[in-house]
């Protein structure tokens, strides 16, 4: 791999993408001869983590949908210029827990905001940078929410508390995005046993990295 690659992990709440990323990281670091860094959105750097606290605070129930979208975009921009772009320029493999597709799935499909505006905003704040690969972990909304309720160690945020209908719209959005971008988005059945999900994700990543 002669240049940095950006791989995003996406999925509805409770899909297990964060757990998969955490399980994959040491194996990838041992397997590959390049630097591997994991980060998340919103967050990853100090400013974006502070924005994350504002967005996901469960007491911020009065937040306007457009305000929510713009806060995500502000966090993404700072994350890009401060962490992601420098890492990619150094030839690093960057794994990001949520990225541009989350904005479309949650704010475009879930909140029913203008999808063309979200597309423009994503391109604007990333300088037209898209992931080289997106792993989409698919799980029915009911199962995802059940997992959240059972996992006492998981951070419960404002979006987790949305009604089932919202989560179903988000999942539908992800599925449509996968159909629209089959060259980039790979669907993984996240209802499988965790070891199988991790194995499949590992194979997809190694195929991309070793082919570059």
- List, as own/partner pairs, every contact residues 112-119 make where C-beta atoms lie below 8 angstroms and the sequence separation is at least 24, other chains included: 112/169, 113/65, 113/66, 113/69, 118/69
CB 188 within 8 A of CB 138: yes
CATH number of the structural domain spanning residue 195: 3.40.50.300
Structural domain containing residue 135: 5-210
pLDDT, residue 199, reads: 97
- As given in the structure block, the two tokens for residue 37 are 């860094």
Give residue 162's pLDDT: 77
Query: What integer pLDDT is reported at residue 1 of this predicted model?
Result: 45
What is the reported pLDDT for 186? 98
**What does the pLDDT profile of the chain (212 residues) look like in tens digits?**
458 999 999 999 899 999 999 999 999 999 998 999 999 999 999 999 999 999 999 899 899 999 999 999 999 999 999 999 999 999 999 999 999 999 999 999 999 999 999 999 999 999 999 999 999 999 999 998 888 888 767 666 777 677 889 999 999 999 999 999 999 999 999 999 999 999 999 999 999 998 87
CB atoms within 10 A of CB 65: 13
* pTM for the structure as a whole: 0.94
Query: Phi/psi class of residue 128: alpha, beta or left (left: φ > 0; alpha: ψ in -120 to 50)?
Result: left
Listed residue (93, 84, 35) closest to 212, CA to CA: 93
The count of domains in the chain is 1
> DSSP string of 102-152?
HIIIIIIIIS---HHHHHHHHHHHHTT---SEEEEEE--HHHHHHHHHH-T
């Amino acid at each position: 791999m002669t240049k940095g690659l950006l791989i995003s992990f996406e999925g509805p709440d409770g899909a297990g993408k964060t757990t998969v990323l955490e399980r994959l990281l040491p194996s990838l670091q041992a397997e590959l001869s390049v630097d591997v860094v994991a980060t998340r959105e919103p967050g990853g750097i100090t400013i974006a983590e502070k924005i994350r606290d504002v967005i996901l605070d469960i007491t911020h129930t009065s937040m306007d949908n457009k305000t929510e979208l713009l806060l995500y975009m502000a966090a993404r921009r700072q994350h890009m210029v401060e962490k992601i772009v420098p890492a990619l320029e150094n030839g690093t493999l960057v794994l990001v827990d949520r990225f541009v597709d989350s904005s479309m799935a949650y704010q475009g499909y879930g909140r029913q905001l203008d999808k063309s505006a979200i597309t423009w905003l994503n391109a604007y704040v990333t300088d037209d940078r898209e992931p080289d690969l997106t792993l989409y972990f698919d799980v029915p909304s009911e199962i995802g929410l059940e997992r959240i309720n059972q996992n006492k160690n998981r951070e419960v945020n404002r979006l987790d508390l949305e009604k089932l209908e919202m989560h179903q719209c988000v999942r539908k959005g992800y599925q449509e995005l996968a159909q629209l971008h089959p060259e980039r988005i790979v669907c993984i059945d996240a209802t499988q046993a965790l070891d199988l999900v991790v194995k499949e994700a590992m194979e997809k990543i190694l195929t991309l990295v070793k082919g570059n």
